[in-house]
Structure 1
Amino acid sequence: MITASTSSISVPFQWIPCPSTLLPTPSHCTPYKPSHPFLAHATQHTEPKLSVTTTNPSDEDCNDDKALLTLLRQRKTEDAWLRYAQSTNLPSPTCLSRLVCQLSYQNTKQGLTRAQSIIQRLRDEQQLHRLDSNSLGLLAVAAAKTGHTLYATSIIKSMLRSGYLPHVKAWSAVVSRLAASGDDGPFEALQLFNSVTRRVRRLADPSMAADAKPDTAAFNAVLNACANLGDTARYLQIFNEMPEFSVKPDVLTYNVMIKLCARAGRKDLLVFVLERILDEGIQPCITTLHSLVAAYVGFNDLDTAEKIVQAMREGRRDLCKILRSSYEDYSIRTNAEEVFVKLLPKSVTWVTTHEPPELPKTNAPDSRMYTILMKGYMKDGRVSDVVRMLDAMRRQSDSASHPDHVTYTTVVSSLVKVGSMDRARQVLAEMARIGVSANRITYNILLKGYCQQLQIEKAKELLREMADDTGIEPDVVSYNTLIDGCILVDDSAGALAYFNEMRAHGIAPSKISYTTLMKAFALSGQPKLANKVFDEMLKDPRVKVDLIAWNMLVEGYCRLGLVEEAKKIVQSMRENGFYPDVATYGSLANGIALARKPGEALLLWNEIKERISSPSLPLKPDEGVLDTLADICVRAAFFRKALEIVACMEENGISPNKTKYTKIYVEMHSRMFTSKHASQARQDRRRERKRAAEAFKFWLGLPNSYYGSEWRLEPVDGNDTNVDST
C-alpha cells in the first residue's frame, strides 16, 4: 500500500484492479464457420487448423449441451448463464456462440461483462475458434452501444486479422462510435473503414462480401469522422466512393456536409448544401435545420440563426432565399477550394437570375431548435436572452416547443457560466416542480460550477443529493470534476479519495481521470505518486497515454527542480514516439531556473532552435518558455544567447520585458570585467563576453560604447581595464 500525503493528511493509495478487456491477437484464435454466418470468409484464406486436439464428447457433456441449448432456445438466458458458470467443461461451439449472442443482445452492463468473461476464458484456453462470427459481431455492437469503444474495435480488428469480414451493421456501429469520440477516434474510424473496404475489394466473388459491403449508414459514419477532423479532401474522396458500392447519399449525408463546411470555416457554403439537398430531390429533415442553425451559431452569426427560426415560425419555405440575402455579394467567394467546387458546384456557377429552390414543406421550430439558439446566446454572454427565450418557450401553444431537460440544462449552464449558482439551483428546483427530470449532465454542470467557485463542500452535498434523492449515479465526468475541484483547493488527498471511490463503484477511469490525478500530485510536490498514476495508466487497456500525461509527469519533477529526472522522462517520451512540445519545454525551463543550472538552459535553447527551423518537427515557442530562458541567460551573463532569445521573441510577435531584464542587469552585472590581472586566454574570453554585454546593453537602451566615445568597448590604450560600471 502506498501512502499519499499532504502535510499531516494521509490517505491510502488503493489501486483497484480492472480485468483485461481486449481480445487476444489473432494467432490465438481459429475461425469457426457457422451454419448461418454473420460475415463472409475471405476466399484467399485457407481454413486454419484447430489450435487444440479435439476429442469425442462424453455422454455427460452431450447431455449438458442439450440442456444448455434448450434453455437458450427458450430464451432463458439467466438460467443458461448459471448453468454455464457452474459447469467445469466448455459447452459446444453452438451453445457458446448462442450464449454470447443472447448476453450481447441484452444490451446491459451485466450481459456485456458476462459475454466478455466467456471471451476471456476461451482466450486463456486457446479455444476462441469455438465462437462463430455472428456472436462476435453482436458482441462488438453491444460493446459499441454501451460505450466500450476500444473493446468493440478490438473485436472487429481481430475478426479482420483472422480472415473474416464482419457484417456491415457490426463494423459500421464501431466506426460510428469512433467517429464521434475524442482523441484519435476519428482517425481510427477512417482506418477501420479502409481496412474493411480494402478486404471487400480484394474478393474475387463480390457475393461473398454482400453482408459486409458498406451501406449508406457506414458511409455517413466515416464521413462524420472526416467532418470532425475537418479533412475536406478525405471527405470528398470517400463521398466519391459511394457509387462504387451502389450507395446513394441521403439527407444525413448532407447534414454531415453542413458540419464539414462549418469545420472548414465556410459559412458562405451552408446555403448551397441546403440547395443541393433540394436539387437532389431529397426532403430536408428537422435535423437538417438543426444543423444549419447550429452552424450559424458556431460562427456567432446569431442574426442569421434567428432569421431561420423566425422563418420557420412564420411557415415560410423560401429559406434558401433568406440565407442568400444574408450576404451582400457572393461573387467575393471566387477563391473556393477545389474540394468544395466538386462537392457544391452550384456555389461557383450560381447567378442572380436563378431563383433559389424552396422547401417542399414547412417545419415549425421545436424545443431543440430553440435550445440551439439559446446556446448561441449563452456563448455570447447574453444570459438575459437565454432566460427570455425560456419564458417564451413555456408560453408556446405547440407542446413540441415547450422546454425539455436539454433546454433547462442549457439555462443552468448559462447561469453557472456567469457564476450565478443560486439562480442555477432555482432552475433545478423548477425542473423538479414541473416534472422535467434533470439528468446527469445537469448535475455535472452544477458540480463544475461549485468546484470553479471553490465551494467544494456544496459540490459534495450535490453529489450526495444526486445519488440519494434522484437516483442518478455519478459517472466518470462527475468524479473528474470533483478531482479537479480538489486540486483547485490544494487537496491532493481528496482527489485521490475520489479517484479510489470512483474505481470502487466500478466506474472505469478515463484519460482525464488519470491526468487530473497526476496534476494533483505534480502540483503538491509528489512526483513519485504522479509517476505511480502514470504507470497505472499505462497498464489500463481502455485509455491511451498521450502527450498531456507525459507533460504532467515532467511537470511534477520540474516543480522540484529535479531536472535530471525530468530529462529521463523526456527521453522515455521520445522512445515511445512522443516529441516534446511547448509545454514540455516550458516545464523544463522552469525546472532549470529553479535548479539554477544555466548550462542546461543553453542546451535546451539549442534544441528549441533546431525545432523552430525543423521542417519535420516544427515548433512555435511561446512567451513563457522564451522569457524563462532569457531570464536564466541574463542572470548567468550569457548575453549572446540572451540576444538570440529576445530576437526570437520579437520575430514571433512577443514583446520582451526590457524593464525586467534591465533590472537584472543593473543588479547583477553593472561592475563586470573590472579585474586587471588575468591570463591572455581569459582576457580573450572576457573580451568576447564584453562585446556581447555591450550589445545587450545597447538593446536594453542603457549607456554603452555604441552610444558615444565616452562609452568605449575597450580603453584607449588597449588595456583590458576600466569598463563602464553602468
Structure 2
Amino acid sequence: MGRDPGRWRLPTRLLNICLAALCRGGSLDAAESVLVDAIRLGLPPDVVTYNTLLAAHCRAAGLEAGFAVVGRMREAGVDPDAVTYNSLIAGAARRGLPVHALDLFDEMLRSGIAPDSWSYNALMHCLFRSGHPEDAYRVFADMTEKGIAPCSTTYNTLLDGLFRAGYAMNAYSMFRYLQRSGLPVGIVTYNTMINGLCRSGKVGYARMVLRELGMTEHVPNVVTYTAVMKCCFRYGRFEQGLDTFLSLLDKGYISDVFPYCTVISALVKQGRMEEANTYCNLMVKNGSRLDSVCYNTLIHLRCQEGKLDDAFELVTMMEEGGLESDEYTFAILVNGLCKMGHIEAAEKQLCYMEMRGMQSNVVAYNSVVDALCKSKEVDAAIRLLQCMKLKDDFTYTTLVHGLCRVGRYHMASKFLRICLHEGNSVLASAKRAVISGLRSSGFKNDVRKLRIALNMAKLLRP
C-alpha cells in the first residue's frame, strides 16, 4: 500500500519546528540526533528540514559545513531551492568570500532556481563587506532589471554598504530619494543613516536625520541613541554624549550593558574616574547583566586607578559567573601590572595566558617588553621577544629604543635589520637613534648596512 502524503505533512512540519528551535538554541548535536531518530521512524525530512540545518551549520562552522548538508540533501533525493542557496551565500558573506558568493549565485541560475530579493540582498551584502561596492551596485541594477522588487532590507543593505565604502553623501542622497518616492523608511533605515553619518564625521547631517526621526511615527531606540552617543564621544562632544546617555536612562531604553560600557570607556579615556565609577555602580544597581566586554571595561578602570586587587577580584567574579577571560582581559591585567612595576607578576600572567592557548596576544607581550626595556633589563626583553609567536612595529620600536638607551647600538642595529626583513618597521625616532649611536661609536660599516636595509625596505614596501 502507498503512503498517504497528507498523513506525513503535519509530523514533518512538527519535526521542522523542533529542529528550528534546537538550532536557534545552538543545540546542533541534539538537532542532528532528532533528525536521525525521525528518519529511523520513517518520517521523511523535506527541503525545509535540510535548509534549517544548513543555515545553522553555516553559522556555527562555516561554508564547508553548509556544503556537507547540501550533499546529504541530494543523497536523500531532496533538491536545493532558493533558500538553500541564500543560506550558502550568506555563509560566504560572513567569511568574506565574494568569489564563492558569486559562484553560488551563478550555480543557482544554472540550476534553474530563480533568485529572490534575499538572494540579491545576501550577495550585495557580501560584496559591500568585501570592498567591492561597484559590483554590489551592479547586482542591485540587475535585480531591478529582472523585475524583482527591492524590500526595506535591500535599501538598508545599500545604504550601509555605501557608508562602508566611504560614499556618505551618496547614501544621504539615496535616503532622500527613498523619502521622496514614498519607499519604506523604518527605524532600521534611520538607525543606519544616523550611525553611518556619525562614523563618516557628518555630525550635522546625523543630527538633522535624528530631528526628522523625532517628527515621524517611529520611536528612536537604544541603537539610535547609542550611535549618537558614540559619535559625540568620538568627536570630543563629551557633555552632549553624556546628555544623550541620560536621555536613554530617562526614557527607559537601556536594556543591556553596551550603552553603559560606551559612556564608562569614554570617561576613563578622559581621566574622569570618579564619574566612571558612579556609572559603574549605577549599572550594577539597575540590575544590568554584565558581559565580558563590560567586565573588561571595569577591569581596565580599576587598573587605571592602580587598584589591581579589585581588578583581579573582578576577573574572579567574571569566571565564576561563567564567562571566560579573553586576550583583551589578559592584555589589560599585564599592562596594569607593568605600569605598577610588578614585572615578575606580569610575566606569570603571560605564562598563565600561554597555558590558555593565547600566545598570539601581542599587546600583552609588548607591555612586558616595554616594561623590561624601561627597567634597563634589555637581555630579558630580547629573550621574551624571541619567544613571541607574533611581533609588530611596536615590539621592535620598544626594543630598539631600549637597546639605544643602554648604549648597545650594534645590537639595536641588528634587531632593526631583522625587523625590516620581517616586513615590519619602527618609528623614525628609533632609526635616528640607532644611526646616531652607531656613528658616535665608530660602527661605520653597520651604518652602511643599516642604510642599505632601510632603502631596500622602502623599495619593497607596497
TM-score normalised according to structure 1 size: 0.49
Q: Distance in 2 between matches of 1:585 and 1:697?
A: 29
Aligned CA distance change for structure 1 residues 153 and 247 (closer, same or farther; 3 Å): farther
Give the aligned residue type for 2:446: F
**Aligned: 1:482 with 2:298:** yes
Aligned CA distance change for structure 1 residues 424 and 640 (closer, same or farther; 3 Å): closer
Give the aligned residue type for 1:518: F
Aligned CA distance change for structure 1 residues 466 and 580 (closer, same or farther; 3 Å): closer
Match of 1:283 in 2: 149
Superposed displacement of residue 234, structure 1: 1.9
Q: Distance in 2 between matches of 1:515 and 1:262?
A: 29
Please state whether the residue corresponding to 1:265 is helix, strand or coil. coil
Match of 1:189 in 2: 62
Aligned CA distance change for structure 1 residues 410 and 142 (closer, same or farther; 3 Å): same
Contact 1:377–1:385, Cα closer than 8 Å, also in 2: yes
Q: Deviations over 1:35-56 (max 9, x none)?
A: 979999xxxxxxxxxxxxxxxx
Superposed displacement of residue 310, structure 1: 1.5
**Aligned: 1:522 with 2:388:** no
Q: Distance in 2 between matches of 1:661 and 1:302?
A: 44
Match of 1:622 in 2: 392
Q: Deviations over 1:569-589 (max 9, x none)?
A: 76x78xx7x875865874675
Match of 1:456 in 2: 276
Contact 2:195–2:224, Cα closer than 8 Å, also in 1: no
Q: Distance in 1 between matches of 2:411 and 2:32?
A: 52
Contact 2:198–2:231, Cα closer than 8 Å, also in 1: yes
Q: Distance in 1 between matches of 2:47 and 2:303?
A: 45
Alignment map for 1:116-135 (pairs within 5 Å): 134=15
Q: Distance in 2 between matches of 1:695 and 1:580?
A: 36
**Aligned: 1:409 with 2:238:** no
Aligned CA distance change for structure 1 residues 168 and 597 (closer, same or farther; 3 Å): farther
Superposed displacement of residue 379, structure 1: 0.9
Contact 2:260–2:279, Cα closer than 8 Å, also in 1: no
Q: 2:311 aligns with which of 495, 508, 522?
A: 495
Give the aligned residue type for 1:189: G
Give the aligned residue type for 1:601: I
Contact 1:296–1:304, Cα closer than 8 Å, also in 2: yes
Q: Deviations over 1:174-200 (max 9, x none)?
A: 6546766xxxx5xx1313212212233
Aligned CA distance change for structure 1 residues 404 and 262 (closer, same or farther; 3 Å): same
Match of 2:255 in 1: 439
Superposed displacement of residue 494, structure 1: 3.0
Alignment map for 1:417-436 (pairs within 5 Å): 417-418=234-235, 420-430=237-247
Contact 2:54–2:84, Cα closer than 8 Å, also in 1: yes
Give the aligned residue type for 2:307: D
Give the aligned residue type for 2:280: K
Superposed displacement of residue 256, structure 1: 1.4
Match of 1:560 in 2: 344
Give the aligned residue type for 2:145: D
Q: 1:385 aligns with which of 205, 224, 229?
A: 205
Q: 1:145 aligns with which of 14, 18, 24?
A: 24
Q: Distance in 1 between matches of 2:360 and 2:341?
A: 15
**Aligned: 1:271 with 2:41:** no
Please state whether the residue corresponding to 1:437 is helix, strand or coil. coil
Q: Distance in 2 between matches of 1:216 and 1:167?
A: 14
Q: Distance in 2 between matches of 1:285 and 1:259?
A: 14
Superposed displacement of residue 284, structure 1: 0.6
Match of 1:646 in 2: 416
Contact 1:38–1:167, Cα closer than 8 Å, also in 2: no
Q: Distance in 2 between matches of 1:287 and 1:641?
A: 58
Q: Distance in 1 between matches of 2:223 and 2:334?
A: 37
Q: Distance in 2 between matches of 1:191 and 1:197?
A: 10
Q: Deviations over 1:423-453 (max 9, x none)?
A: 34433554576x6734324444334434444
Q: 2:115 aligns with which of 249, 257, 266?
A: 249
Q: Distance in 1 between matches of 2:322 and 2:340?
A: 24
Contact 2:413–2:434, Cα closer than 8 Å, also in 1: no
Give the aligned residue type for 2:433: K
Gaps of 5+ in 1: 1-34, 41-100, 106-133, 316-361, 527-554, 612-618, 671-689, 702-726
Aligned CA distance change for structure 1 residues 311 and 436 (closer, same or farther; 3 Å): farther
Give the aligned residue type for 1:375: N
Aligned CA distance change for structure 1 residues 476 and 162 (closer, same or farther; 3 Å): farther
Contact 2:304–2:336, Cα closer than 8 Å, also in 1: no
Q: Distance in 2 between matches of 1:404 and 1:562?
A: 42
Percent identity over the alignment? 17
Superposed displacement of residue 390, structure 1: 1.6
Aligned CA distance change for structure 1 residues 568 and 502 (closer, same or farther; 3 Å): closer
Q: Deviations over 1:484-532 (max 9, x none)?
A: 433333334333444555566xx541x5x44444345433449xxxxxx
Please state whether the residue corresponding to 1:657 is helix, strand or coil. helix
Contact 2:53–2:69, Cα closer than 8 Å, also in 1: no
Aligned CA distance change for structure 1 residues 514 and 382 (closer, same or farther; 3 Å): same
Please state whether the residue corresponding to 2:286 is helix, strand or coil. helix
Contact 2:222–2:254, Cα closer than 8 Å, also in 1: yes
Superposed displacement of residue 480, structure 1: 4.1
Match of 1:371 in 2: 191
Aligned CA distance change for structure 1 residues 485 and 557 (closer, same or farther; 3 Å): closer
Q: Distance in 2 between matches of 1:374 and 1:260?
A: 22
**Aligned: 1:660 with 2:433:** yes
Aligned CA distance change for structure 1 residues 166 and 306 (closer, same or farther; 3 Å): same
Q: Distance in 2 between matches of 1:167 and 1:302?
A: 44
Please state whether the residue corresponding to 1:191 is helix, strand or coil. helix
Q: Distance in 2 between matches of 1:235 and 1:223?
A: 5
Contact 2:335–2:364, Cα closer than 8 Å, also in 1: no
Give the aligned residue type for 2:262: I
Superposed displacement of residue 697, structure 1: 5.6
Contact 1:496–1:517, Cα closer than 8 Å, also in 2: no
Q: Distance in 2 between matches of 1:394 and 1:564?
A: 54
Give the aligned residue type for 1:252: W
Aligned CA distance change for structure 1 residues 635 and 460 (closer, same or farther; 3 Å): closer
Aligned CA distance change for structure 1 residues 404 and 566 (closer, same or farther; 3 Å): closer
Please state whether the residue corresponding to 2:147 is helix, strand or coil. coil
Give the aligned residue type for 1:408: Y
Gaps of 5+ in 2: 1-6, 452-462
Aligned CA distance change for structure 1 residues 565 and 479 (closer, same or farther; 3 Å): closer
Aligned CA distance change for structure 1 residues 446 and 223 (closer, same or farther; 3 Å): same
Match of 1:674 in 2: none
Match of 1:198 in 2: 71
**Aligned: 1:293 with 2:159:** yes
Q: 2:92 aligns with which of 205, 215, 226?
A: 226
Q: Distance in 2 between matches of 1:597 and 1:281?
A: 68
Alignment map for 1:55-74 (pairs within 5 Å): none
Q: Distance in 1 between matches of 2:10 and 2:397?
A: 61
Superposed displacement of residue 408, structure 1: 2.8
Higher helix residue share: 2
Give the aligned residue type for 1:390: L
Superposed displacement of residue 279, structure 1: 2.4
Superposed displacement of residue 308, structure 1: 0.5
Q: Distance in 1 between matches of 2:431 and 2:333?
A: 35
Please state whether the residue corresponding to 2:62 is helix, strand or coil. helix
Q: Distance in 1 between matches of 2:382 and 2:281?
A: 48
